[in-house]
Amino acid sequence: ALGTGIRKSAGGQSTSAAPGPRRWEVRERERHSFKPSNGVEGFVAVDPPLIGRNKMATLLRSPVSADNSCLFTSFAYLCDGINTQIELRGAARRLRRVCADCVLGDPDPEMRAVMLGYDSVSQYSEWIVDETHWGGEPEIVMMAQHFNAEVALVSCETMRVTRYGSTDEKKSLIFLLYTGQHYDPLVLAGEDQVRVLGASARGECEVALCESAVAIARQHVADAAKRASEKRVKRLQCGGGGMIFSPFPA
């Protein structure tokens, strides 16, 4: 994902991550980062405005398969409007190839390889088309360019919404959730569950949607903590008597 080191696949097997920090456009990201509104400067909370008549400016999580291609699957779900698992897997492979071709076609391949943390662009292209490897920040940037869209990524690790791609209001906007190990698409609440926010609706609801994305990230963290606590209780169960001890804080 966004960091370095060893990654765990959906099946629990270790997969090698890309070397190096792999961070692009740091200034651009910091300039367009959002923070939650709990007293943090730089983010103003607003009441969710209406989109149309009855649709509140809130988001819903639309889970995709927890595999090593979840980033590409999320983009295919949001931007290509694909729903079936078979089609999503095929689209994920195609988007991996898009990233490989983008890097191979760079007019300055040596610099591009350095920025990605690889010895050559060929090495990167071989790495990214391997479906045992995750996509991360560089791939988000390339997907934003490929779909000519702006990507708002909310991280469960930082509780911040980071923007990728141009902030041109004429572009469409999509939302992604990053849990630290997995990506999921976020869609607009409502019967239609709109996946892409068009230019005409962006101005009046972006801030509220960013706050909604942060709320989803907070809920994920709370749910994960609850599950971890329940697992600790089960581990304390006696094998013979079946007694369960209360999970007193350490």
Total Cβ atoms within 10 A of residue 85: 11
Q: Can you give the CATH number for the domain in which 86 is found?
A: 3.90.70.80
Rg (CA), the chain: 20
Identify each DSSP E strand in 102-217 by its residue range: 149-155, 161-164, 172-178, 183-188
Give a yes or no: residue 178 inside a domain.
yes
Give a yes or no: residue 210 inside a domain.
yes
Give a yes or no: residue 17 inside a domain.
no
Contacts of 72 by beta carbon, 8 Å cutoff, 6+ apart: 91, 92, 93, 95, 96, 135, 139, 143
Number of domains making up the chain: 1
Give a yes or no: residue 13 inside a domain.
no
Q: What is the spatial distance between Cα 142 and Cα 130, in angstroms, rounded to a whole number?
A: 17
Give a yes or no: residue 247 inside a domain.
no
- For 169-191, give one letter per residue: b (16+ CB within 10 A) or e: eebbbbbbbbbeebbbbbbbbee
Task: Give the pLDDT of the chain (250 residues) as one tens digit per residue.
Answer: 333 333 334 444 444 443 333 443 333 333 334 444 332 222 222 333 334 433 458 999 999 999 999 999 999 999 999 999 999 999 999 999 999 999 999 999 999 999 999 999 999 999 999 999 999 999 999 999 999 999 999 999 999 999 998 767 678 999 999 999 999 999 999 888 899 988 776 766 888 999 999 999 999 999 999 988 877 666 655 454 555 544 444 3
Give a yes or no: residue 11 inside a domain.
no
Give a yes or no: residue 91 inside a domain.
yes
Q: Would you state the structure tokens that stand for residue 2, as one six-digit string?
A: 């966004």
- Nearest CA-CA partner of 188 in 50, 44, 35: 50
Give a yes or no: residue 143 inside a domain.
yes
| Domain enclosing residue 55, as ranges | 32-224
